[in-house]
Amino acid sequence: MDLHNVVSIEKVIDTSSYPNMPEYMLGIVTIRGKIIPVVDVSKLLYNESTQIDESTRYILVETNGVTIALMVEKTNEIIDIEENQLNPVNFLGQDEGTYIKGVALQENRIITIIEISELVSSMHGIDLIKDHTAELTLQN
């Protein structure tokens, strides 16, 4: 994803459950005094829960008027990928506007680039998450 949307990378802490949220949302956490919803990226993208261990991290992203903690298995590195290195992935009937911006080949690896604003917009229940997060913030 584009580094411009990343606020920080944090170690995983215990989440507090919150009712009536989508299945991919694990709950909420307080990081630096801010209440943030936690999204399990593996659950969201692959319908499999992330196994939490010492490598698991939250990538805090800010987009579409909300800050979200994306829980990922691990964070390895920041890679500089030029726009001309991106290859489109127009297969399997994907529509324009999908959250996959493209793929890049680098050192025998295929790196999928996610357009975070599109991913957040495509989340089922994102408006509910925004509303509840705003409500909790106002209560504090």
Quote the pLDDT of residue 92: 55
CATH code of residue 19: 2.40.50.180
Domain span including residue 61: 3-139
Q: Which two tokens stand for residue 116?
A: 């975070």
Contacts of 74 (CB under 8 A, 6+ apart): 55, 56, 57
- pLDDT for 82 equals 85
Query: pLDDT means per 10 residues in the chain (140 residues)?
Result: 90 88 89 90 89 94 89 88 82 62 86 87 73 60
What confidence score (pLDDT) does residue 57 get? Answer: 95
Handedness of CA 63, 99, 105, 84 (dihedral sign): negative
Domain count, the chain: 1
- Supply the pLDDT for residue 45: 85
Given a contact cutoff of 8 angstroms between Cβ atoms, the answer to whether 69 and 31 are in contact is: yes
